[in-house]
Amino acid sequence: MNVSFWDPLQWVCPDSPFPSPPMPRATLEAARGGTAAVTVLCDGLRKGSAIAWRLKPSFPLELFRLHSVPVEANTGPLGFTEKPGERNPHVFRRSPFRVYDAMEPVPRSHAVNAEREVYRLHISIPPNERPGMRSFALSLLHQGESYNLSLSLRVDSAFVPPAGRKSWPVTNWFSTINMAERHGLRPWSEAHWSMMEQYARLMAHGRQNTFWFTFHDMFDLRKGILVLRRDRLRRYVRLFTQAGLYYIEGGHFGRRSTSEWVCPTFSVSLTGRRATTAEGHRDIAAAARQLMEEIRVNRWMDRYVQHVADEPIPENATDYRLFVGMVRKYMPGIPIVDAVLDPSLPGTVNIWCPQAHHYEQHREQFEAERDHGDRIWFYTCCFPGGAWLNRLLDMELLRPVFLGWAAARYRLDGFLHWGLNHYQKNQNPFEQSVVPNWGGGSNALPAGDTHVVYPGSDRPWSSLRFEAQREGLEDLELLRILQQEKPRLADAIVRSVVQGFDRYTKETAVWRQARRRLWKAISALK
């Protein structure tokens, strides 16, 4: 048996060479309230036999076995996947290949699946833990053989505030139906509710504090009238609130009337009626009034935001403005948030949410709207590609980390991604990462865009990308504190690693040095 530590922010592939010489020692660092992580490679194992892990002295430890997934095509230089004649130089490896991303929670003693296994260890740092160095002996027992590793942990005095009401807004849109069907459960059964709770807790672990609901899940169409499932919505909000999420994100009232991207009109999602007609107005009024009643009765006013329609563009700007006005009429005081690609829609939304590269390219125009009191989130999806920050499977693991740092760089107000678990029909995320776009053609969704968690046998599994983004969001919470007290120092620390969404270091050592400076600065505030 051969065993070696591996940097948790460096990808491992099934054909990655085993470190020579092996690394039997590792030093981890974490702030209080954070999580320290390390990867362990094991070669020469016997499939089907047991392996046992021991950590002395005892400390909160979680063990995950990593599973590889495919990258069938590389992300394009702008977005989607590479088309004929395109080549994106900003990927860590050329496709096709497999890479370890999915994280299966395993007990400390379990059966081996293959000759090579890759593991990730998490050490959670209690908020009240005493700062300082810790030394551990990590032992692996397999086939009568024992392999010993040396693990050091430095706990910093800085404290990462928990995710929730006061943390920076983060939302990953999710599919409740996939939470049922991918685990063999009947939708909205008690077993489904229990599984949904596990997903909610995983989201909260990743510092997500905002959760959406869709009209499909929460409304019935009875004799052509939209009727809110009030009891379901209340239970749903209670479940996510108890899991640690706080802000409620009302799903889209409507969508484009046709599948064409430049379609000039929008229609109500569940009825199909044109939003800006008398019939569509009736649907909007019925749904909005019922939602507003629930918001008031349950005192959700301070935690509720509402979508209208996704990604409006100049070709449908007129219809979008009318649509938003109709929603505002029946939901006064509720902030409107949408993924707005074009900065030429002033006065429509309260929370702008451009793609990362669109914000960078039109920064002055978006910031002008913030000067009027609006907020600015940002999002990533099948765009941007190339050198831009995103969390796709052929990008360095530092990029998800730096989503939080870029948010600090520009003092942005939130993050959105559409794909927590939006596996497409017939897509097995363990065997297919690139899927066709809904509109067809050559615009395939790049590897990992549809999801950042995986459907395990009895629970959702996290991913290395999800954990990397969590680390960056932990950093962001401390950067926000430092920006309030010492803005120049905070900006200097951020700029030492991230200068923009497409300008950043690729050296993990440089980021870790910046993070130590951040921790030291936070500790000095006391």
* Residue 439's pLDDT band (cuts 50, 70, 90): low
Checking if the pLDDT of 102 tops 90, the result is yes
A 10 A CB-CB count for 299 gives 8
Q: Where are the alpha helices (DSSP H) in 54-189?
A: 176-181
CA-wise closest residue to 40 among 108, 88, 87, 89:
108
Mean pLDDT throughout 94-102?
A: 98
Residue 285's contacts (CB-CB under 8 Å, 6 or more residues apart) are 326, 329, 330
Residue 201's contacts (CB-CB under 8 Å, 6 or more residues apart) are 243, 244
pLDDT confidence of residue 344:
84
The fold for domain 2-157 equals: Immunoglobulin-like (2.60.40)
Angle between helices 317-330 and 278-297 (to 10 degrees): 40
* Residue 249's pLDDT band (cuts 50, 70, 90): very high
Same fold: 2-157 with 170-519:
no
Segments making up each domain of the chain, as ranges: 2-157, 170-519
pLDDT digits 0-9 by tens, 466-511: 999 999 999 999 999 999 999 999 999 999 999 999 999 999 999 9
Burial class (CB in 10 A: 0-12, 13-18, 19+), 466: buried
pLDDT confidence of residue 442:
74
Residues 79 and 385 sit within 8 Å (Cβ to Cβ): yes
Checking if the pLDDT of 378 tops 90, the result is yes
pLDDT digits 0-9 by tens, 148-173: 999 999 999 999 999 999 999 999 99
pLDDT confidence of residue 440:
64
pTM over 0.95: yes
The Cα–Cα gap between 4 and 118 comes to 10
A 10 A CB-CB count for 365 gives 16
Q: What's phi and psi for 260, nearest 5 deg?
A: -75, 135
Checking if the pLDDT of 441 tops 80, the result is no
Checking if the pLDDT of 526 tops 80, the result is no
pLDDT confidence of residue 4:
97
Mean pLDDT throughout 212-217?
A: 98
pLDDT digits 0-9 by tens, 8-23: 999 999 999 999 999 9
Q: Note the CATH number of domain 170-519.
A: 3.20.20
- For residue 335, cis peptide bond before it (omega within 30 degrees of 0): no
* Residue 342's pLDDT band (cuts 50, 70, 90): confident
The Cα–Cα gap between 80 and 180 comes to 28
**DSSP collapsed to 3 states, 416-452:** EECCCECCCCCCCCCCCCCECCCCCCCCCECCCCCEC
Mean pLDDT throughout 413-430?
A: 97
Residues 251 and 213 sit within 8 Å (Cβ to Cβ): yes
